[in-house]
Amino acid sequence: MATGAPDPVAALAAQVRDLRGIVVEVKARMDRAGMSGSARLHEQVAALARTVAALTDEAPAPRVTAPNWTTMDEAERAEQLAALAAWADGFLRLNYAHALTRPCWASHAAAVWELSTLHAEWQRVYDRKHPDLAGALTWHNRWLPGVATRLEKILADCRGSCSLARAQAPARLRPRAG
């Protein structure tokens, strides 16, 4: 080793001293927080998991996806439109008449998009043992009024003649190349 060059062993010893100080400080903080010992921390995490499970009293809600009418084949469209009509006319119209004022909504592609997305959010919030309160409040305060306003605009120029016409399905997208 050249004279005046740092001693690698001494440098390593200094690093070990610094790290030991850090470890001692972290351990002291964990002790003060009541988190010392991995077994104790594991017990705390398990107890927290039991508490959360007891509060929810159910499995996690199933994942609900927004409908994509552009990717559905004719059979799937018919099935989805029938399910949407059952919900829109059998639930939404009965409980929120102001939101769905025209019976011809299924003849308007934009209305189908709006209502199917609103229905998907309703399912996400309400189709569970314990509906999500924050989601329910958001559905009533934000999503329902927003859709109702847009539906009013979508259906404003309709004079009712479309209710006898075949439902206009949303346009399909061509499959992506590659």
Per-residue 3-state assignment (H helix, E strand, C coil) for 24-78: HHHHHHHHHCCCCCHHHHHHHHHHHHHHHHHHHCCCCCCCCCCCCHHHCCHHHHH
Which residue in 124, 133, 123, 120 sits closest to 55, CA to CA?
133
Claim to verify: residue 45 and residue 73 sit in the same structural domain: no
Domain extent at residue 156: 69-164
Structure token digits, residue 147: 């859709």
User: pLDDT tens-digit profile of 92-114?
Assistant: 999 998 888 888 899 899 999 99
Alpha-carbon dihedral 70, 72, 75, 81, rounded to 10 degrees: -60
Residue 177 has pLDDT above 60, yes or no: no
Claim to verify: residue 42 and residue 103 sit in the same structural domain: no
